[in-house]
Amino acid sequence: MQQGQQRVYAAFIRDLTERRAMEAEVARQRELIHQQEKLSALGALLGGVAHELNNPLSVVIGRAAILQDVLVGTDEERTITKLREAADRCSRIVRTFLAMARDGRPRHGQVDLNDLLVGALEFAGYDLRNANILVNTTVDPEVSAIPGDHDQLVQAFVGLIINARQALERQDGVRTLQVRSQRIGAKVRITITDNGPGMPAEVRARAFEPFFTTRAFGEGGGSGLAIARGIFESHGGAITIDDTVADGCSIVVTLPVGKGEAR
């Protein structure tokens, strides 16, 4: 503004930090809803495909079992045994697909945790092999059935395994993933350890916060660990990150041991 012989300037300063943060959160929530809608549609498709595969697989497994009995003591016995084992593995993968595709209503029962862990690894097996990841599995035979929702636990453990696989993709050289179950008193301890780039202390402190992620846009919404923690805590358990590991990252899950026959 001109006042006589002087030019006068007026400035208005407004802090937009909070507004921009709110706008970013709204955009993130909108993207999360979009991803959930896609996952819901994918789950419905997955469930249908798994059901369709289940019927012919049952025939293959049944016929293989008959042939296995007929060919006992022959040269072909080893071949048909391998065929039946492969069919059984496919059946377990289909069951895991069905578990992932079901709705979120709890179905509490007795869960064979060791079998569940093997199934979760088989579910992610294709991605693990494509990433050249060597998987070591050690299950404690003393681990008995635990009370819980089979489908929710499958979802949580598959998520942890996928997280480890994504971390290992940034690792050069030999890539390893260790999954171990161990009975400790009235609890079972499950450890999932990778030799990836590890997790810095500042990231580890926020790892279980909903929507917190260090990945690029489109590579994850940052809700996986938060969801897993909610599932384990609802089962009376806990999930932590072992900060004593020198290289890589180690996720530790503890769950109470129950009584009864495994489902």
Instruction: Give the type of residue at 94.
Output: V
Q: What is the mean pLDDT of the chain?
A: 81
Distance CA 86, CA 47 (A): 21
My answer on whether 59 and 136 are in the same domain is no
Inter-residue contact 113 to 146 (CB < 8 Å): yes
My answer on whether 73 and 173 are in the same domain is no
Rounded to 5°, angle at Cα 208 from 204 and 210: 130
Residue 6 has pLDDT above 60, yes or no: yes
My answer on whether 120 and 40 are in the same domain is no
- CATH number, domain of 210, equals 3.30.565.10
- Domain range holding 244? 105-263
My answer on whether 111 and 169 are in the same domain is yes
pTM for the model: 0.62
Read off the pLDDT of residues 208-220 as tens digits, 9 standing for 90 and up. 776 556 554 444 4
The dihedrals phi and psi of 64, each to the nearest 5 degrees, come to: -65, -40
My answer on whether 47 and 113 are in the same domain is no
My answer on whether 152 and 220 are in the same domain is yes
Highest mean pLDDT of the ranges 2-16, 76-90, 92-106: 2-16
The burial class, CB within 10 Å (0-12 / 13-18 / 19+), for 250 is buried
Q: How many domains does the chain have?
A: 2
Given 58, 84, 102, the domain boundary residue is 102
Read off the pLDDT of residues 45-83 as tens digits, 9 standing for 90 and up. 767 777 778 788 888 888 888 988 888 888 888 888 888
My answer on whether 155 and 83 are in the same domain is no
Residue 40: what pLDDT? 66
- Within 10 angstroms of residue 234's Cβ, the number of other Cβ atoms is 12
